[in-house]
Amino acid sequence: MTKRDAIHERLEITEAVGARLANALISGHPATVAYVGAENRPRISHRGSLQRLSDRQLAMWVRNPDGGLAKALGERARIAVLYSDFSDPVRRILFNCVGRAHVEPDEDLRRTVYDNSPELEREADPDRVGVAIVIDVDEISGFVDGEYIQMHRE
How does pLDDT run across 23-75, given as a tens digit for each residue?
Answer: 888 888 889 999 999 889 999 999 989 999 998 999 999 999 999 999 999 88
pLDDT for the residue numbered 26: 82
Taking Cα atoms as reference points, which of 44, 56, 54 lies closest to residue 9? 56
> How many domains is the chain built from?
1
DSSP 153: -
Residue pair 18/52 in contact by the 8 Å Cβ criterion: yes
CA nearest to 75, candidates 101, 111, 46: 101
Residue type, 12: E
pTM of the model: 0.89
What is the span of the domain harbouring residue 38? 3-152
Indicate which CATH number applies to the domain containing 122.
2.30.110.10
Report the pLDDT averaged over residues 121-136.
Answer: 96
